[in-house]
A and B are shown apart, each in its own frame.
Chain A
Amino acid sequence: MPIITCDIRNGRTKEQKHQLAMQLTEAVVEATGCDIDHIFLVMREMPGFNFVDAGEHVPEYVPGPDGMDMAGHEQIKSRKEKASHN
């Protein structure tokens, strides 16, 4: 029965999405003891603009080294810097 839903930004490769789906499914199999036949997963992709995190639109995903979300990490870093100044 477990149903996993992944809302993610556009721009990931098929391999990244395949890994996400397989590993999340496996994690739920291990945690619940349910047979893999009972696990359903759906991934829904959308622009970064659709995600508003801490009142900020999340930047579009641009893959950096080994798929790291450079723009996203940048946003988090500048948010922390602003926070430390207040």
Chain B
Amino acid sequence: MPFITCDLEEGLTDTEKRALVTKMTEITHRCIGSAMEHINVVLREHPASNIGEAGQAGRALISNRKKTARSAAA
């Protein structure tokens, strides 16, 4: 019954997303006492071009972080 969503920029892997959804479900159960069966979590991904964050458009935070991480690893 609690319905928790997170709108974020594309860029997380499936594994990262599954882990985030699981963690958000556990946090909701622990903090507000809902039955696990009642908790719904949805991640909604968007291209950076769709996002106006704190008054600024197209910041591409996640993709930039991924690029820097890849270049650091390379």
Q: Do A and B come from one complex?
A: yes
How many A-B contacts at CB < 8 Å in the complex?
A: 115
Known: A31-B12, A33-B62, A34-B61. A58 touches B1 (CB 8 A): yes
Q: Tell me the residues in window 8-47 of chain B with beta carbons closer than 8 Å to chain A beta carbons.
A: 8-9, 11-12, 16-17, 19-20, 23-24, 27-28, 30-35, 37-38
Q: In the complex, what residues of B have CB within 8 A of residue A27's CB?
A: 20, 23-24, 27
Q: Which residues of B contact A (CB under 8 A)?
A: 1-9, 11-12, 16-17, 19-20, 23-24, 27-28, 30-35, 37-38, 51, 53-54, 59, 61-62, 65, 69
Q: Which residues of A contact B (CB under 8 A)?
A: 1-9, 12, 16-17, 19-20, 23-24, 27-28, 31-34, 38, 40, 48, 51, 53, 58, 61, 63-64, 66-69, 72-73, 75-76
